[in-house]
Chain A
Amino acid sequence: MKTLILTAAALALTAGLASAQTVRLGTEGAYPPYNFINDAGEIDGFERELGDELCKRADLTCEWVTNDWDSIIPNLVSGNYDAIIAGMSVTEERDKVIDFTQEYVPPAPTLYVGRSADADIKGVVAAQTATIQAAYVAESGATLLEYPTPDETIAAVRNGEADVVLADKDFLMPIVNESNGELVVVDQIQIGGGVGMGVRESDTELKAKFDAAIQSMKDDGTLNPLIVKWFGEDAALW
């Protein structure tokens, strides 16, 4: 108990030096090319570059934080960071709990990827927990196999635990292209909306700032080249 009070006091002291607008951005760091931890141990990817540019335009000091996908929304609403920028599709269920800025990536196709082109998409389907893909599989009647990280869903297909994996095209295509034919695209569907930043429902000011920044990037044409840089020539553009 004593250590508790002491540490609390020590932290209270160190916390005394406050400056106004620092925004903490929460991401998963395991979803290339949206966001991942590069070999230097730093957060990298499309959203890193986008987030830094948005913060510059909105005149905010931004700090990056990684958080487990599972608890990424609870930690936002309890205030451990101020915005989620983690390839999160805007859905109705999520919108009930948090607010979204306008979308910065247009609705992208979702792929079924398996070991052969005739893999059974109604069989065992791997998907990441708490994603729109997992919800889709659960409703489609196929057997859902959930994993906490995107990488494990791919591993499940490779080692035969699952017939196919269902995930965003942007995430799967680089993996399929570099698998030397081991993995192939089985089917393509369209589910969910585009990708937006998540903010607390009470945080209307921050939402407005990021909305304006995203709009300005769309208007002056800097967002599309960024999408092409990370997702390739045939990515959906604004």
Chain B
Amino acid sequence: MFNSCADPATIEGLTWLLCYLTTGKHLLFYTSFGVVLLLMLITAPAALAFGFGGAMAARSHFLPLSLIGKAYTAMVRGVPDIIFFLFVPIALDQAFEYLRHKTKCPDWDQPIWQGNDFVVCAEAKLPLSSSPQWIHETYGFTLAVLAFAVVFGAFASNVIYGAMQAVPRAQMETAEAYGMSHRQSFWRILVPQMWVYALPGLSNLWMILIKATPLLFLLGVRDIVYWARELGGSKTSHFDYPHPDWRVWYFVALLFFYLLMTKLSEKVLRRITLRLSHGQATLAGEMQRKAAR
């Protein structure tokens, strides 16, 4: 990065450290923090959407829909995360490629599964093997977001389902007495009130999500933990900057990152709880009302 870093063997001390910390590999390490943050910011709303959909389906009076909603939460919550993360992206990837293969190469005469091999025509590959690496990485990232959203959505679904049941029946009865339809009372009375009950459970999920990102490497996305391990491992003179096993320092840096994330999240979550409790028929809402008087 700097001119003085051209020959690392001749420099030492602080300059060496500065050069070391600005190698291309370290820059990749720093960008991976951004990747992890981006993943959380995209996954959280996506998982919330999956969860909300699951809870609405589970509450449905239409039996098949309610069964689908309940089966979704039960199945995903029951399967260990690691198995899920290994299976879902590969299955999704093969499903996409299979569909593309069927439409793009109708006159392909060989079987798609040849023993262990999954073979589709070159045009059906997703992404194409000729596309640049960043497309492959974006695709992997998308699959990762999807897998995370499905898994965390199932947990969120159960939390939201419980929160919807927790809204006092009297509130719904009042809505019905005012002549609101089923749909109106759901969107105007139930949903705005249920968040305050869902929040403790959802905040748990958010904290778990923050710490679950190392699972990303299973999906080929190189996250902060991968780079910390890779950079910290001992380096022989095949490398420009040989050093002994420094993993502990990298993991200490990660520790501070995760603690900082936790602190920030707690701050934001406390503020949201305060906002949501406003005017609610809960203890916190009641205390706010008394304090304001």
Contacts and interface: CB of A to CB of B under 8 A. Distances in A.
Interface stretch (A102-110, A116-124, A147-155, A209-217): A147-155
Contacts of B25: 37-41
Interface in A1-48: 3-4, 7-8, 11-12, 14-15, 17-20, 22-24, 29-30, 32-33, 36-42, 45
Given A39-B24, A175-B234, A202-B119, A61 B139 contact: no
B129 A154 contact: no
Given A12-B100, A40-B23, A63-B133, A79 B118 contact: yes
A8 B96 contact: yes
Interface string A65-95: 1111001001101111110000000000000
B136 A65 contact: yes
A66 B28 CA distance: 14
B130 A78 contact: no
Interface in B193-231: 217-218, 220, 222, 229-230
Contacts of B142: 7, 11
A42 B117 contact: no
A89 to B, nearest CB: 19
A11 B218 CA distance: 22
Contacts of A66: 222
A183 to B, nearest CB: 11
- Which of B116, B136, B230, B239 is packed against the most chain A CB atoms within 10 Å? B116
A11 B126 contact: yes
A174 B116 CA distance: 37
B129 A32 contact: no
Interface string B244-259: 0101000000000000
8 contacts: A22-B128, A39-B24, A40-B23, A41-B23, A41-B27, A77-B117, A200-B117, A201-B116
